[in-house]
Amino acid sequence: MIKRTTKRLIPDKRTYFKIESESSGTFDFKVPFPTVLSSLGSAIRKQQRELEQTEDPEMISSISIKLNHLFGSFLGLCWFNADYDLESTFTGDYELYGLSVLSELFDEGYSLQECLYLATNCMPNVYRIVTPVSKQEVDDAVNFTQAKE
């Protein structure tokens, strides 16, 4: 990790959010670009389907490692710390990037369990923010106090 020379301000916007970890405090995250989310989400779902369809212990182990790396990639793409930047850079390969992010976090003392906790808690926040809301849902929310005719 690289210590920032000036502390980053965390914007008070919908695309930024916090996750509380019992062991390490509060973490700040941002929502990455939707195209990145789409392809990474597809890769995660593919590995999850493969995991569900196999009973071979070696395949289960291999797929679990790939999933860990993909979750690491998700964590890295959403990372938005006020004091530290990740050294890892995304080059287009989600598994390699995830491995790099996890290795970097492990070097800083984070456990796999904590990294996976953050990644899996990050995902619902991100997808809730980027999921389009129907016009009907918006109208219902805006007009919820109006008297019905």
pLDDT tens-digit series, residues 72-88: 999 999 999 888 999 99
* Cβ neighbourhood burial of 72 (10 Å; 0-12, 13-18, 19+): buried
Of 38, 39, 122, 11, residue with least CA distance to 76:
122
One-letter amino acid for residue 80 of the chain: F
pLDDT value, residue 17? 86
Give the CA dihedral 102, 42, 123, 73, nearest 10 degrees. 20
pLDDT of residue 13: 82
Cα separation, 32 vs 1, in Å, equals 19
**Chain centre distance of CA 69:** 12
